[in-house]
Amino acid sequence: MRSRAYEHTLNSSAVPVGHPVLQIRDVELRFGGVVALHDVGFEVTQGHIHSVIGPNGAGKSSLLNCVSGLYHPQRGSIRLHTGGTGSVEATHELTALPPYRIARLGVARSFQNIELFSQLTVLENLMLGRHTRMRHGVLSSLVWFGPARAQEIANRGIVEEVIDLLSLQPFRHLPVGALAYGIQKRVELGRALCLQPSLLLLDEPMAGMNSEEKEDMARYILDVHELAGVTVILIEHDMAVVMDISDRVSVLDFGRLIADGTPDEVKVNPAVVEAYLGAEDL
């Protein structure tokens, strides 16, 4: 059985388990006259898998894009807690930050559509996930000695842990474009994990998978959560998976938050049932 040693290397958060790691308050996002998000707010707790669900077009991916810096909401607050020393709490307002700054704070994400470099190997794609953690300059990289060499070895060590955690060893030297779809999705999860995230955003990681691939991906998400100790925000349409692995669920419908609670609370909420089935079916 694998140990919990991953938690000390693949998780960069210093926030204690059970404390808020992300606070979303009154977020509004508009595209011209279209309101994608309206007064959305909830908290994500350190150590949880927090799922965001809703019908197509509910604003789920738009919300993740706001958290990761791809979109900037017109109103509201998104605060990331990264912990601190002693009584000092490090809190960062994300709404105006560019994506690379948010990535450096430890927010990593995967995308609904695979965004890998198909001609590069699995190992090379995973090493790209370390780019925000590499600090040596161009000259030292070319010469490759001293600090640059030590940093390269350290970064490679993190990648090797991800390969082990996600069982990617048989594919490490194969080009990603030659792999099965389910393996490619696992590589994308691994590349995000190579950032050593304090918060991992997964946008429909099981989209397009068959039932066996979904079971595998759910197991790997649980491994990332339980063995590496990473807090996860998950967007997923498979309600069986969501209700099985989530600690808390937030539900969006037409850009509004209509429910937020435990899986058991959410699945019997009349507003959630109506959003999925419609008033007539209800």
What is the per-residue pLDDT for 131?
74
Burial class, 14, CB count within 10 angstroms (exposed 0-12 / middle 13-18 / buried 19+): middle
What is the band of 136 on the pLDDT scale with cuts at 50, 70, 90?
low
pLDDT in tens, 14-36: 888 889 999 999 999 999 989 99
Say if 61 falls within a structural domain: yes
Do 91 and 141 have their domain in common?
Answer: no
| Listed range (113-122, 153-162, 180-189) with the worst mean pLDDT | 153-162
Say if 11 falls within a structural domain: no
Q: Which residues pair with 80 in a beta bridge?
A: 22, 92
DSSP annotation of 198 = S
Say if 174 falls within a structural domain: yes
What is the per-residue pLDDT for 130?
83
Asked which of 151, 171, 194 is the last residue of a domain, the reply is: 194
Say if 1 falls within a structural domain: no
Cα–Cα dist 244/93, whole Å: 32
Mean pLDDT value across residues 116-123: 92
Say if 57 falls within a structural domain: yes
Cα–Cα dist 262/252, whole Å: 15
Asked which of 149, 172, 194 is the last residue of a domain, the reply is: 194
The domain tally of the chain equals: 2
Do 34 and 172 have their domain in common?
Answer: no
Say if 212 falls within a structural domain: yes
Residue 185 has pLDDT above 70, yes or no: yes
Do 249 and 207 have their domain in common?
Answer: yes
pLDDT in tens, 153-164: 777 888 999 999
Burial class, 45, CB count within 10 angstroms (exposed 0-12 / middle 13-18 / buried 19+): middle
Say if 12 falls within a structural domain: no
Do 278 and 211 have their domain in common?
Answer: yes
Residue 145 has pLDDT above 70, yes or no: no
Do 85 and 120 have their domain in common?
Answer: no
> Between residues 131 and 75, which one has the greater pLDDT?
75
Do 23 and 82 have their domain in common?
Answer: yes
What is the band of 256 on the pLDDT scale with cuts at 50, 70, 90?
very high
What is the band of 108 on the pLDDT scale with cuts at 50, 70, 90?
very high
Do 157 and 170 have their domain in common?
Answer: yes
CATH number at residue 91: 3.40.50.300
pLDDT in tens, 209-239: 999 999 999 999 999 999 888 999 999 999 9
Average pLDDT, the chain: 87
Torsion 251-257-261-267 (CA) sign: negative
Asked which of 129, 164, 194 is the last residue of a domain, the reply is: 194
Do 255 and 188 have their domain in common?
Answer: no
Q: What percent of the chain lies above the pLDDT cut of 90?
A: 64
| Listed range (39-53, 130-144, 150-164) with the worst mean pLDDT | 130-144
What is the per-residue pLDDT for 87?
44
**H or E stretch covering 219:** helix 211-226
Say if 176 falls within a structural domain: yes
Do 189 and 215 have their domain in common?
Answer: no
Domain that holds residue 168: 116-194
What is the per-residue pLDDT for 88?
47
Do 84 and 137 have their domain in common?
Answer: no
Do 186 and 134 have their domain in common?
Answer: yes
What is the per-residue pLDDT for 103?
92
Do 164 and 59 have their domain in common?
Answer: no
Mean pLDDT value across residues 252-261: 96
